Structure 1
């Protein structure tokens, strides 16, 4: 077991915040929600990141307050989310009907027989998703009861964003000075991070996950009128050289066309021009090795190149497995893939996948919005979820689920 030097600081802060209103530790959780690969504890191949750790204190405080007040009221969750969770839990019975000799391919390129993958993996992933859905329910309940407010939430997110910018700057300095091992030990420590010296990943697993954060933040800032911060997200996104980010920007442009807002398209063209200019200067004078990767954006999105061909192969292999077990899948967490649609349809079946798509995308799209804050959250969530469904296999990203809880909590008012 390996413990980060910030572990003591985080645990002392959490214990201290427990003495205040529960909103304090909620905001603390939000601040660190983008730090998905900043691990506090490593146990073998498993890592406990900051938001996961803080989430435990949130649940502890919440249930303590419930018991003290003798409040036994059950918070309702969306029906589609409930169906998804039932499908996830039911998938534990996969070993009873799945061919043990079926060959599975993970996103890391490992090829294994079904019987060689421990059922404990499914149990772990089920516990993991139930744990975070519990946090989602708590946040939704607290927002509905106005214990946490949207104005304060956006302020905390704004401050957190600049901490990410500082983190990325330190990341680049560590690279230039050949001190990345020290940087990783102090600020990241997640051993699963594969680092490339010309691609930004920030406090995330990889550039594509950082791109999800930047795409989500772009929507939050742009629609709320924070043009400077929106520009920064564009610059960092292009520096990450991730095709996920490019696809996200394309989705935003299509959104502007759908809304028939020509002025918005003109503004984003200006922001794109400025950010690409920064990138070209960077590529020419500071990092020529990144040019090759930068020019592969389109090729990767279309399924070409190493990344694109691997993605296409994984989707194809998983689709064949899905056709054999379309109703209930082979077991949640058994495999990874590129994109949640491919992942979920293979592991929990058609019903659970449709339920999750409805919950995370359709349900959000159908809701009418009344003000600028709601518009920002709606479009940021929709585009981020589209990217997750199509490209990135990570189902739980703390800040997205946090704002989904806020958005869905608003629905009751």
Structure 2
């Protein structure tokens, strides 16, 4: 056994790994696996098909009981094009803050969770504590799905889960689900001098964008509403539009990437059906002259929302750990929806820092927030030792 490192030392190592989602995360996971092994904790790695990325799952305490799972992702968003004043992939500490890409989203929590697991391993726990680390959360909660599949076949699953995304240590019970979609608009190319004789795919795209905005207006005015969210209704958002080669060519293809972020209970299939109907209404009148005219909508990927009841056992349990009186809901998605929907594990979100600092240059988490997270996890370990 070696001396248990402080959370800050672990965080320094984690921030030093460039785990942008486009990069492998295996070096970070091997570091965590080795650190856990030094303290007698076996960790299972679940690699992807390339072998460059992996999930990690580890447990301490007695077998045959559910316990509590601490969940975090190890990938971060890119720093390209951002004006950083500190090295993004190193830890800089000043003025009560720790800077670095992923400091708040969400390596700060991951470092706290690893440190808590190491300390728990030295105690006679009555209830187990689990650690789940994933990859590719930032690109649609994609990597964690193999870990979910592993737990689906496990003889016993965790009794509850804390996802440590940044909530300023408030207990969050919900977030919207997300569906990523693509609309491919097919027209007919031609010389721009004869543009009216061709079918401009960008014009089709513009008409479809108008239809999406119209549906958004209708949903906002008459759809479901949840005042716990900053935006209380389901949102439809156009994120990307590509088309055309150069200005003197009428483009024959344009591609729109868009999303739906839905409230619990929203009939997203009906919304997509409305968009398909709008696409057909745009193209059908054109097919006599342009039989190839089409707007094809594909569903790329999705993750479910989270809607844990405010009186659920996991909510009251984590509120007791933090001393919180109320709960919130968050605007961003997490892996918690998959743990709840696929595994039936009651889940809340609670972690240090604020997403207002995430995804920005000079991302940071305050030491005060990290200390509060350590206090919550220390209380959790004590409850696991006492059998809850």
Same fold per TM (> 0.5)?
no
- TM-score (normalised: structure 2): 0.28
**Greater percentage in helix:** 1
**Greater percentage in strand:** 2
- TM-score (normalised: structure 1): 0.26
Which has more radius of gyration?
Answer: 2
